[in-house]
Amino acid sequence: MKIDFALLECLEAVVTEGSFEKAARTLSITQSAVSQRIRQFEQQVGAPLLFRTRPVTPTPAAQPLLRFARQTQLLALDVWPELLETVSRGRVRIAVNADSLGSWVLPALAPWAERNAAMLDFVVDDQEHTQEWLRNGEVIGSISSDPAPAHGFRSVALGVMRYRCVASPAFIARYLPRGLDRTVIHRAPALVFNRRDALLTEHLRRHLRIKEPYFPNHFVPAYEAFLSAALLGYGYGLLPEVQCAQALASGSLVDITPNTPLTVPLYWHTWGLATELVSTLSAALVEGAAHALEAMPAPTRAARKTPRA
């Protein structure tokens, strides 16, 4: 099948923007023209390409087309820099977990952003799920805890993020006067990032040696707000050491499981297609991670931990 690049661009715009209306504004055409192009593309492919949900999402048939669309955009950005204003507005979309985005990714990419006209578009998700965005063609790279690249992709080790299980002194006095044990987790409120965050569950399994820990929890799906909730005594939870180091030093927070270390390995995954734009972005992430994260340990057969969004 010969691919019409106008139709391909339209499909990518609808998926990226999440609606036909927003895609029309991005492409500077009417919403009716967008609908007509998508129908024409679906007739050529012989299958539906979009789920008409809110936001609009791609069907399995659309995913290889989306990968091709974004690979083509990257090649265009490399070969013809002047197309930055017309090809997807020159956006480079990557999937990343909130802890990495809030702590080290933005400083790592700051020099790269100064040198490149492309706009960054961050998708925030759990590290166990960021690779789904990459495989579906919705991003050009992802930060994941999984070291193994999918077929057609490549990965590079970034380093290890260390977490501390912390609580405020007032919270400890009220709920954990004898420490965090099996008798208190059923009533002591915990802090969890969102419903896909399994990091604390995994940590309690290791610390308390129980198969399925149950605990009440608040959901706090924001990097800075999570720290604030811990400082204000809403509950106990896992924070990146780099984020809570100052609070630990001042005594505003206390590590309640100091003998149970928690480290999460991080890997950068991207398409096998090599472009200057992706190569320089990858190099910036690797360099930034080398300064912000601990060195990756030697490979072991130990069970991989489930990190958080």
Q: What is the pTM of this model?
A: 0.71
User: How many other C-beta atoms can be found within 10 angstroms of the C-beta atom of residue 278?
Assistant: 20
More confident residue, 175 or 196: 175
Phi, psi dihedral angles at 188 (to 5 degrees): -80, 120
pLDDT value for 63: 85
Summarize pLDDT for 14-47 with one digit per residue, the tens.
998 899 999 998 888 889 999 999 999 988 888 8
What structural domains does the chain harbor? 1-58 (1.10.10.10), 161-263 (3.40.190.10)
Task: Give the pLDDT confidence of 75-133 residue by residue, as tens digits.
Answer: 666 554 544 443 344 678 899 999 999 999 999 999 999 988 888 999 998 877 888 88
State the average pLDDT for the chain. 87
Encoded amino acid at 2, one letter? K
Please give the pLDDT value at position 234. 98
pLDDT of residue 87: 39
* Side chain identity, residue 187: R
How far is 143 from 157, CA to CA, in rounded Å?
10
Identify whether the C-beta of residue 259 lies closer than 8 Å to the C-beta of residue 129: no
How open is the CA angle 128-133-139, to the nearest 5 degrees?
130
Output the pLDDT for position 307.
Answer: 54
Q: Could you tell me whether strands 50-51 and 217-219 are parallel, antiparallel, or unpaired per DSSP bridges?
A: unpaired
Per DSSP, 51 falls in state E
